A and B are shown apart, each in its own frame.
Chain A
């Protein structure tokens, strides 16, 4: 197969492309072109760019191998791909947690946004970094996966449910729990700074 540029304007749904790829494997290249960058970005934010480069490539190899099982009733393959990426990232949990701790030690002054509101927010986020990163590392894996799919992949609750193969209600409860724990840690960090 030679992977060529994706379909201009996504004139065909992902489901159509995947269905066609069952007979014509090279068609799957369009899925790669549509989503590689965003999947790699999601993974890089979780496990760092070095590993993400490898893992993102692996996501599409896995997706290709599993395309027979894709639910063709779902037009958009994005949640499916994020689900694969999340599962692959799960094998690097230790690495991910190390990354959170490393990020928590970054200096706020390294961030140089142009907008004043963004500056305030980033300084705030950076100041809360240790608490936030620590809380992220301490979350149950399932809770963290849901939270990061919402925060980093911009998936809707329904898409997260589809992505992870869990009920919609479970997504809501996991997200609520994760957000509550992060709020508590951020609140604790603010109180510590205010003292």
Chain B
């Protein structure tokens, strides 16, 4: 049997779509054809001044003029944070974290989930170095290396059932983070310059991928969820998030572990969807990230950081 046949059998044909699925797709096309309900990632982005003015007008109508209307993300309802406010709170929280060295071991306990997660959802734990060069986990009481990084996010180890050969396997997102840990310290210090720099980097396997704003957000998400950085660098990345055009705040964010948080929602990604970086609403520390879909930002899949702690070595529990 050749490999093409093997693929056809591995990725078996699904049952035909349910009538309501086809009907919903037809209705969506009809809405698009009527010019209403067009997914917003195809809508032209308004100049920021217009967006800000519209936001301000809405606030006047409600008698709730917020003190600050900013370019990125537009106005927010009273009581909610603007994108830049959230970015600066996150930066301040990051700046208070302890210093780390590149080889510092970090314990992670994470949960992957969401309706688009399939059967691969679950909680796992892993140890990585701060620079994501090394990773390990404990299998049958022994510390096992998971190979060399850097890893995008954390490597995802799992036990292979005995009837599938037993042992363990490691998964996780492949690819390459466009900024190496060693290069982090040479990134521009000014948030605007940092944004311009990140926005022009290429994403591995995603040549020509998206406008600079989507690219910048994605790269920052990769860095924040993969590395544990010196506090100053983490703070600068959060500040840069606050300046990305099109980023919005979701003050009703919920991570895949069901915890409530506050999220930065990315500009539309090429091909649809948005990324969300979720922070703890009290401490403003990173809780996880999600991939959202559709105008209502429905969760597709995501990762929640349940525990992250600096430890003295691989296999050492916090």
Contact = CB atoms under 8 A, between A and B. Distances in A.
Interface of A: 1-3, 25-26, 28-29, 32, 36-37, 40-41, 44-58, 60-62, 64-65, 87-95, 97-99, 101-105, 107, 111, 121-122, 124-126, 128-130, 132-134, 136-138, 140-142, 147-148, 150-152, 179, 182-183, 186, 192
Interface in B1-18: 1, 3-17
Q: Looking at A25, A142, A150, A151, which has the most chain B CB atoms within 10 Å of its CB?
A: A151
B318 interface: no
A84 B15 CA distance: 22
A186 B6 contact: yes
B30 A91 contact: no
Given A61-B39, A148-B7, A94 B120 contact: no
A91 B273 contact: yes
B40 to A, nearest CB: 12
A51 B292 CA distance: 11
A183 B2 CA distance: 8
Interface of B: 1, 3-17, 21-22, 24-26, 28-30, 32-34, 38-39, 42, 112, 115-120, 158, 160-161, 163-165, 169, 171, 173-175, 205-206, 269-273, 291, 293-294, 300-301
Contact of A64 (B33, B161, B271): B33
Given A51-B116, A132-B10, A61 B32 contact: yes
Contact of A57 (B3, B13, B29): B29
5 tightest Cβ-Cβ pairs between the two chains A and B = A57-B25, A1-B33, A125-B9, A182-B3, A141-B205
Contact of B17 (A40, A45, A91): A40
Contact of B171 (A41, A44, A137): A137
Contacts of B160: 105, 130
A104 B217 CA distance: 32
A51 B293 CA distance: 9
Q: Is the interface of B mostly helix, strand, loop or mixed?
A: mixed
A36 B169 CA distance: 36
A132 B2 CA distance: 11
Contact of A124 (B1, B4, B165, B269): B1
Contacts of B294: 54
A140 B161 CA distance: 28
A140 B205 contact: yes
A49 B22 CA distance: 13
A56 to B, nearest CB: 6
A58 B6 CA distance: 29
A84 B96 CA distance: 45
A32 B31 CA distance: 14
Contact of A186 (B3, B28, B205): B3
Given A41-B13, A97-B174, A107-B163, A1 B8 contact: no
Contacts of B34: 1
Contact of B26 (A32, A105, A130, A138): A32
Contacts of A138: 174
B169 A101 contact: yes
Contacts of A140: 205
B52 to A, nearest CB: 27
Nearest to A144: B205
Nearest to A107: B163
B235 to A, nearest CB: 27
A179 B3 contact: yes
17 contacts: A29-B29, A36-B22, A44-B14, A52-B14, A61-B39, A62-B42, A88-B272, A91-B269, A91-B291, A95-B116, A98-B301, A102-B118, A103-B11, A105-B119, A121-B1, A152-B7, A182-B7
A141 B6 contact: no
Contacts of A129: 10, 164
A124 B6 contact: yes
A132 to B, nearest CB: 6
